[in-house]
Amino acid sequence: MPTYKLKYFKNRGLAEPSRLVFAAAGVEYEDIRFDREQWQSEKESSSEKYPFGQMPVLEVDGEVISESKAIARYLANEFGLAGKTNLDKAKVDMVVDALQDIAKGLVEMLFGKDEAQKAEAKEKCLTKTIPTIFSALEKMLTSNNGGDGFFVGDSLTLADLAFIAHTDYHVDQLKEAATLSAFPKLTALRERVLEQPNIKKWIEARPKTEL
Amino acid sequence: MPKYKLTYLVFRGRGEVIRLLFAAAGVEFEDVRVTLKDWPAMKETDPERKRFLFNQLPILEFDGHVLAQSHAIARYVANEFGFAGNTNLEKAKVDMIVSAVEDAYSPLVTNVWYEKDKARKEAWFTEFRETLLPKSLTALEKLLTANGGGDGFFVGDSVTFADIMFADRVDLLVFHSSPDVLDGYPKLKALKSRVEALPKIAEWIKKRPYAPDFEFH
């Protein structure tokens, strides 16, 4: 087994899907978390380890991979959580990319330039982006054996794990909007995946962070 | 071989890398192009979103399947026809480069295409030209050079999704900065020429329909 080092901030954020992949696969890794100051000095002293000057990065036996989705997909492929055929892998990618479209709106909602922009972003998220994307995902899930299993194929994949990581923000930052309430299969999927022993164990053990 | 049907807008935009991958693979596909004017009516032909799954383009249809999300589609085509990288690690490096090119180009869409406020647009452009773009190109030049000196391709020893994505999207980056911006990044500049000289890609570039992308802002 190679040695894995995952480096990110003291957040769930863009690293959490990869951490969930490690957890689901039961694979050990070094979960390195920097605060802002440590990151500044790390960026300067070890810039060759951060190809785009950003985190997360994954170090695998000396190789460096940057970009959160590339990392998550790599780990999923390594551990059999990526989907079995090219078509299944494409469906997993579709789910992950669609969730990211919502995430862009959430980031603007939380970190937008001014209050007006944040409010506009929230409105767009709640009235357009989330309903469109969640209804497409509900349909996609339902079309896979009635929707009582997983997004793709008949076992857990990165699609389900990315969904968990993403909906943590719905459950926290968008709590009063109850964004999942209109989507019974998605709601049940979240509960089902959270109950998987390896996932449950990780969620109980992981550092509790706001984001 | 399935019959592939790609539906996208008349632009190069998020669809062109998929078209280029099919071309590079020598695989026929139906290249459906929709004008912005016709897109709303087309959406209305599919009220249950059986085709336009996320209410967006591109979509790829084949053998009764529908795929959406441009990168998911592109990566599917790349994987099917051998342009994705050969090992999981190579695929990860390809994905990393693709994401980085996307990060460099997609803010243009938000801050140029959709930004109505002229002052905000100008301020962003300055940041783009002076900071964001040089940062991206420097990092990409470094990664390319790290692969055996940089006179081949981004990953491994043959053209992948990463090279094609870069060669296609860089035109917009050049257009919004300066015509000679790549002179500062000689390996990237040579890579673009090298990709566009590959016979099947050169043929596609020569015969592809005109796309009014650069007039769109």
pLDDT at position B215, please? Answer: 57
- Residues A39-67 have a mean pLDDT of 96
Say if residue A206's pLDDT is above 50: yes
Which residues of A fall within a CB distance of 8 Å from B137?
none
- C-alpha B115/C-alpha B72 separation (Å) is 27
Q: What tokens does B113 get?
A: 């295409």
| Angle subtended by helix axes B70-81 and A86-111, to nearest 10 | 150
What backbone phi and psi angles, to 5 degrees, belong to A61?
Answer: 45, 50
CB contact under 8 Å between B72 and A136, yes or no, is: no
DSSP letter string, A136-155: HHHHHHHTTGGGSS-SSTTS
Which pLDDT value is given to residue B109? 82
Distance of CA B162 to the CA centre of its chain: 9
The DSSP bridge partners found for residue A4 are A60
Residues A106-146 have pLDDT tens digits of: 999 999 888 998 999 999 999 999 999 999 999 999 999 99
Q: Taking a C-beta distance cutoff of 8 angstroms, is the pair B95, A69 a contact?
A: yes
Q: What is the mean pLDDT of residues A165-185?
A: 96
**Looking up tokens 């695929």, which residue turns up?**
B91
Count other Cβ atoms within 10 Å, centred on residue A102: 21
Crossing angle for the helix pair B199-207 and B16-25, to the nearest 10 degrees: 130
Whether the CA torsion B157, B161, B162, B164 is positive or negative: it is positive
Show which residues of B are catalytic: 8, 14, 113
pLDDT for residue B217: 44
8 Å CB contact between A157 and A82: yes
Look up residue B214 and give its two tokens.
């650069």
3-state secondary structure of B159: coil
Q: What distance in Å separates the CA atoms of residue B174 and residue B11, rounded to the nearest whole number?
A: 17
Contact B99 A70 (CB under 8 A): yes
Both tokens of residue A96? 């992950």
**Chain A residues lying within 8 Å of B68, measured CB to CB:** 94, 98
Sheet holding B30-34, edge to edge: B30-34, B5-9, B59-62, B65-68
pLDDT for res B214: 63
Look at B139 and A53 and tell me if their CB atoms are within 8 Å: yes
Q: Is the peptide bond before B58 cis (omega within 30 degrees of 0)?
A: yes
Residues of chain B with pLDDT under 70: 214-217
CB pairs under 8 A between A and B: 87
C-beta atoms of A90 and B93 within 8 A? no
- B79 Cα to chain A: minimum distance (Å): 7
* Residue indicated by tokens 């990288």: B85
Query: Least CB-CB distance to A98: which of B54, B76, B80?
Result: B54
Q: Quick one: pLDDT at residue A1?
A: 86
Could you tell me which chain B residue has the CA closest to the CA of A140? B53
What CA–CA distances, in Å, run from B124 to B6, B96, B109, B114, B132?
33, 25, 12, 13, 10
Decide if A74 and B91 are in contact by the 8 Å CB cutoff: yes
Output the pLDDT for position A88.
Answer: 98
| pLDDT band of A177, cuts 50, 70, 90 | very high
Query: Bridge partners of B9?
Result: B34
Determine phi and psi for B118, rounding to 5 degrees: -65, -40
pLDDT score at B112 = 78
How far does chain B reach from its first CA to its final CA, in angstroms?
A: 39
pLDDT at A36 over 90: yes
Q: What is the pLDDT of residue A113?
A: 84
